[in-house]
Amino acid sequence: MTTLLSDLKAGSVILTLNRPERANAFNYEMTTALQNALAEAERDPQVKCVVITGAGKVFSAGQDIGEMKKGGGEISYREHLEKTYNPLILQIRRMGKPVIAAVNGPCAGAAFGIALACDLRIAKSTAYFVVGFSGIALAPDSGVSLFLPKYIGLGRAQEYFYSNKPITAWEAHQWGMVNRVGGFNYQRLVRQWAEEQARGPREAFAAGKKAFNQAILPNLEEVLNYEGILQDEAGRSAEHREGVAAFFEKRRAKFD
């Protein structure tokens, strides 16, 4: 099955994460497919705007932990991030075309970082966001440590990292993390916003994005690299081994 669907409509390409049987969790194939699709969208003159969404009722559960652990042995999370999410996050931020995250359902972990890296976020009213990493004793990655405090403040970001509580679509909107929330009109709202961006001045949009990146995110690449270092350390810990075991055994982890 194709892990990423692509559909060009009215100047916008809709990229749909398509592993619904795995809650659209990212495996290496889907991450690579998204990187390639974004590169193609950047080159294609017909594409004026990009929309990233999920198949079914979930945006994405983040990294597929089963895939990460299937080979056994020790994993270098830093190397994994350098091949997957770090270049993907930078790619989204460096795209000259607007990128919209259409968050149709639960969004967690690395997928949360991807949504935060996008230029605009539209959430379905039933969607919610979970930081996710602390549940398996990992540090935030995929830019979450930078993006989330900028959107909702350091205090809230730390609270939701420590607790793993969901951030509802309405809370995310109230705090400025989500631009719009849609109920029955969600699909129409996504379509309207995409069409509006597609009609805009592309060169000015690209210049504006560069200006915002320089003003607000000048250290993004440095942060992504540091997240990888921290993740490597966390990935070798006894806490992480317990967190992963609890995840697969569907029980509460015991971090004693």
For 149-168, the three-class secondary structure string (H helix, E strand, C coil) is: HHHHCHHHHHHHHHHCCCEE
Q: Pull the structure tokens for residue 105.
A: 């359902």
206-237: pLDDT as tens digits: 999 999 999 999 999 999 999 999 999 999 99
Q: Where are the domains of the chain?
A: 4-184
Enumerate residues 6+ apart whose C-beta is below 8 A from 64: 19, 22, 25, 26, 27
Please say if the pLDDT value at position 63 is more than 90.
yes
- Over range 147-176, report the average pLDDT: 97
Pick the CATH number of 4-184 from 3.90.226.10, 3.40.50.2300, 3.40.50.360, 3.40.640.10: 3.90.226.10
**No. of H helices and E strands in the chain?**
12, 9
The pLDDT assigned to 125 comes to: 97
Cβ atoms within 10 Å, residue 229: 13
More confident residue, 71 or 199: 199
31-51: pLDDT as tens digits: 999 999 999 999 999 999 999
The pLDDT assigned to 66 comes to: 84
Output phi, psi for 46, to 5 deg: -75, -25
Please state, rounded to an integer, the average pLDDT across all residues of the chain: 95
The pLDDT assigned to 5 comes to: 98
DSSP E strands, the chain: 4-9, 12-17, 49-54, 99-103, 107-108, 120-124, 128-130, 167-168, 180-182
- Tell me the C-alpha distance between 54 and 190, whole Å: 13
For the chain, state the CA radius of gyration.
17
Q: With pLDDT > 70 as the criterion, what percentage of the chain qualifies?
A: 98
21-33: pLDDT as tens digits: 999 999 999 999 9
Please say if the pLDDT value at position 72 is more than 70.
no
Please say if the pLDDT value at position 151 is more than 70.
yes
pLDDT class for 249, splitting at 50, 70, 90?
confident
Please say if the pLDDT value at position 1 is more than 90.
no
Residue recorded with tokens 């440590």: 145
- Over range 167-183, report the average pLDDT: 97
Count CA atoms within 13 Å of residue 168 on its CB side.
Answer: 6
pLDDT class for 67, splitting at 50, 70, 90?
confident
Q: What is the pTM of this model?
A: 0.96
The pLDDT assigned to 74 comes to: 72
- Over range 243-249, report the average pLDDT: 89
The pLDDT assigned to 29 comes to: 96
